[in-house]
Amino acid sequence: MNKTFDINQDELIAYTKKLSKLRSIALPLAVRGSLNDVAFKSRGFSLRRFRKNFDVKPHAKTFARAHILTQKCANVKELKLMESQIGMKPGKKNIGERVSRQEKGAQVKKRTVPMRYARVGNNSRSPINKRLYSNIFKNKTNGIVYKSGESKIVKTDNSLIRYMRGGEKRILYLYDRSFKLDSKPFISYGAMRGAQQMPKIYKKQAEFRIKKEMQRFMK
């Protein structure tokens, strides 16, 4: 999402005029500082929305902090060339790009989907049980792939099923499943919220820069 900021809007034009009368670098420094502050603000909003949108496990919080990144404004004087950015770092196996698909939603095809019985404590929010990782059974032929007493695990073309003592059937995985990812924006949401803060941030940066220039002038 691209958002253009107008430094000559009614509530800000007085600051822009004051900055323009100071050293030629004063206005670019204020604008650049504002764009950088907005990027960092946007990242904070995106991180909070990420945690709200998804069932975030402890390691996922670290993932979000590592993959939702900002790019500061380049050190240029031309205002039209200034921009700051926020986005997802691709990471291993392009995992960042895969997560960012949920910005607009997507159709995911042919994926192995773990069910709650494959997870620790049969809890859908827990990590996969190490003894039930899908790659353990990946190259197994269809049929009984594990047996212990009256319990057994059976692989079919489209599922991995555990039969418990007494005949209870528990589906561990569904194979080659296609499903729709609902749109749950967090990057664009953060950028939007950050952009809303721009006038306030620009005022703060302008006041700081004007003060610094006046102090320099008084020396």
* pLDDT averaged per 10 residues in sequence order, the chain, 219 residues: 78 91 92 95 93 67 83 91 88 70 78 90 89 91 91 93 90 86 88 93 94 81
Please name the residue ranges forming H helices in 92-145: 95-100, 134-137
Task: Look up residue 38 and give its two tokens.
Answer: 């907005």
Task: Look up residue 61 and give its two tokens.
Answer: 């919080």
In which residue are the tokens 């004051």 written?
Answer: 18
207 and 166 in a single domain? The answer is no
100 and 194 in a single domain? The answer is yes
pLDDT, position 108: 75
Residues 126 and 120 sit within 8 Å (Cβ to Cβ): yes
Q: Answer yes or no: is 197 within a domain.
A: yes
Task: Look up residue 201 and give its two tokens.
Answer: 């941030």
- The whole model's pTM is what? 0.69
From CA 32, how far away is CA 77, in angstroms rounded? 9
From CA 160, how far away is CA 154, in angstroms rounded? 6
Domain count, the chain: 2
149 and 90 in a single domain? The answer is no
Boundaries of domain holding 167: 107-181
112 and 70 in a single domain? The answer is no
From CA 88, how far away is CA 211, in angstroms rounded? 36
